[in-house]
Amino acid sequence: MDEIFISIGGKQHYLWRAVDQDGDVLDILVQKRKDKRAAVHFVKKLMKGQGRSAREIVTDKLPSYRAAKKTVMSTSMHCDERYANNRAEVSHEHTRAHERKMRRFKSPGQAQRFLAVHSQVHNLFRVGRHLLRAANYRLLRNRSFETWQQVTCAC
């Protein structure tokens, strides 16, 4: 899990993001706060969407995460070592690029809606090209496009 600040209407908001071990975005949340209450809200939303508790949580050293873990997920292991959450840090790059293209987000609701949908679509088309042979990569990309056509009803 990780958080970054984004500017919406000249005011600072925080984008909380949870990423799994493969780099797929699990959930995001846009909030005005970066305190324990906000972290607890995000973790509860994440656990509700996943349907089960995580074995291990990897975060940076923000104290809010430690407090939220104690409150919501006391049985999970917590890792806050340096560089351990690089996967979550890297997942923010696409958000920054779209934020620049769109000339900032207009409202927190618009940012939440766009980023939630965009992260799921990005997960669908993100195939680890460097890990695959060309034939396998083409097969997975074709499956992604077939799934996209089924979901969007585009024939």
- Domains in the chain with CATH codes: 2-129 (3.30.420.10)
123: Cα within 13 Å, side-chain hemisphere? 16
pLDDT in tens, the chain (155 residues): 888 888 888 899 998 988 888 778 889 999 999 899 999 999 888 888 887 777 888 888 888 888 888 888 878 888 888 877 777 777 777 777 767 777 778 889 988 988 888 888 887 787 777 778 888 888 988 988 888 888 887 65
Tokens of 46: 């994440």
Q: How far apart are CA 48 and CA 43, in angstroms?
A: 8
